[in-house]
Amino acid sequence: MNHRLTIKLSGSEGAVIRALGLIERRGFSLGKCSVGEADISGRVMKVSVSSTRPGELLKRQLERLHDVFHVELKPVAAVKPRTLGIRPVTLKEH
């Protein structure tokens, strides 16, 4: 299953690597990742992840970190193979 996470976290030293390390360590592969500029309120990280494990689990484990303030989790549907709308035929039918 694929998920997109929007993580609001502290701007303190180590916060980003702490969160990224946890994501991989808990069995989620990192896809795209963007880390915003830190300001007085912290920063925002957007990460896409994939795993056989439920995304909800990762959300709660991230939120348990003192550096992480909030995690928004969105499942992302896997890309379906495109069909051309043609009924499949077998040789017999000809």
- Please report how many Cα atoms fall inside a 13 Å half-sphere around the Cα of residue 73, on the Cβ side: 16
Q: 51: Cβ–Cβ under 8 A, 6 or more apart, which residues?
A: 1, 27, 28, 29, 58
Identify which of residues 73 and 86 has a Cβ nearer to other proteins in the complex.
73
**17 near other proteins, judged by CB under 8 A:** yes
Among 4, 11, 22, 38, binds other proteins (CB under 8 A): 22
Judged by CB under 8 A, which stretch of 30-38, 52-60, 71-79, 81-89 contacts other proteins?
A: 52-60
**25 near other proteins, judged by CB under 8 A:** yes
